[in-house]
Structure 1
Amino acid sequence: MLLDATLRWLDMAGIAVFAASGALVASRKQMDVVGFVLIACVTGFGGGTLRDLLLGRTPVFWLRAPELLGVAAAAAILVFFTAHLFASRMRALLWADAVGVSLYAVLGAEIALLAGASPWAAVLLGVMTAAGGGILRDVICNEVPLILRREIYLTAAAAGAAAFVLLRLEGVWREPAFALGALCCLAIRGLSLWRGWSLPPYRSRAGRDYG
């Protein structure tokens, strides 16, 4: 019972942050309040919905907890009235998304483990949970997806999910394991935003002459 309650609160926190990031994109596109709520819900629920479908957890999580729709809508409406206060909406979006990715990467891995997934699958599903909603948000809003930007993104989510899974396999209690996994992801993603870190890109090379 306590575990279910904890997961519910973590779900609410992750959805609120991701919904806010979606609403910030809606503000940049000058949408109306309905558009804000729609993009917020897509961002908050997209990755978790895909995770639940792959795990066979139906109905998906937000259909079993309709209050989560209220959380996403409330976050969207709050941003609708306050987005103008942010001097740089893109910067606010990046940091809100970073927090959401950190929470959802670990939460997705936790849910996958509870559903009986293997450790490697739990890490993969954690990454999917963290990135899925943001990808849908950016595609719908005709934005370059954050996962395609230069800063480290998916690697940070994978590191956070993997840290959590490894700590749980070593017998670490779930609360400190969750906190350390989320902090690992946030630290890597945050430093990549702050310092402009990125993975080495592919460098083109001259082709061989087979003549």
Structure 2
Amino acid sequence: MSEIVPLLQTPILQVLDLAAAAVFAVTGALVASRKQMDILGFLWLGVVTGVGGGTLRDLLLGVPVFWVSDPRPVAVCLVMAALIHFGAHLVGSRYRMVLYLDAFGMALVTIAGTSKGLDAGAGPLVAVVMGVITAAVGGIIRDLLGQEPSILLRREIYVSASAAGAVLFIGAMAVDLPTEVAMGVGLAAACLIRILAIRFDWALPVFRPRPERPPH
């Protein structure tokens, strides 16, 4: 197994950040439509959902925040949120669409966050954590502001799907697969696991209280 080195693929990371911001902005705007917000509410929820996870990732890594140095992700979020404001009524089951778009967005930002961690010189474990943080924070902000059940409190697999995608991506990089192929493997795995968890109600075992031991 070869040593994992930073990707140094800035264009790829920019594309991933843009795509992830767009998808998460749509999920934020769909939540705004469910809450019957005005257009400013759509724009606000779209932007903070779209760039929230990547913002925390970059702050933790000590690198320039991606949308501050390049405002295109914010512009994309604003456009997508505005489009949803005028077209959300055409979507039949908005909650279901939020779930499935969120699965794709989660997979995108997982790979973007993991890649950014490697590029910043972090080790594989920290890079995986960066991927998971990037994936979870945007959805947490969206659910908190939209007063929806938090993604972390739902039974279906979410964070573990993100972690699995990040680990597979790094593993594929470690065995010298091309960067694009490794990204595709991790992205597909994270997205597929999450979608199957939604479809079949998969969940990890939960903690169940047990009687305390009697004193000796």
Structure 2 length normalisation: TM-score?
A: 0.93
- 2:13: which partner in 1? 7
Structure 2 distance, partners of 1:202, 1:158, is 20
Structure 2 distance, partners of 1:203, 1:153, is 20
How does 1:91-102 map onto structure 2 within 5 Å?
91-102=96-107
Which residue of 67, 71, 84 maps to 2:72?
A: 67
* CA deviation map 1:9-61 (0-9, x unaligned): 22111111000001011111111111101111111111111110111102x10
* CA deviation map 1:134-163 (0-9, x unaligned): 111111222211121010000000000111
Judge conservation of contact 2:51–2:74 (CA < 8 Å) in 1: no
Higher helix share: 1
Structure 1 distance, partners of 2:82, 2:114, is 30
Match for 2:9: what amino acid? L
Match for 1:134: what amino acid? G
Match for 1:45: what amino acid? V
How does 1:32-181 map onto structure 2 within 5 Å?
32-58=38-64, 60-181=65-186
Judge conservation of contact 2:24–2:101 (CA < 8 Å) in 1: yes
* CA deviation map 1:175-194 (0-9, x unaligned): 00001100000111010000
Aligned-residue offset at 1:5: 2.1
SS at match of 2:192: helix
In the alignment of these two chains, the number of paired residues is 209
Structure 1 distance, partners of 2:36, 2:20, is 24
* CA deviation map 1:97-149 (0-9, x unaligned): 10000000011000110110000000000000111111111112222111210
Structure 1 distance, partners of 2:92, 2:137, is 27
Identity %: 47
Structure 1 distance, partners of 2:41, 2:205, is 37
- 2:23: which partner in 1? 17
Judge conservation of contact 2:46–2:81 (CA < 8 Å) in 1: yes
- 1:187: which partner in 2? 192
SS at match of 1:142: coil
Match for 2:45: what amino acid? I
Structure 2 distance, partners of 1:69, 1:206, is 51
SS at match of 1:112: helix
Aligned-residue offset at 1:208: 2.5
Aligned-residue offset at 1:169: 1.6
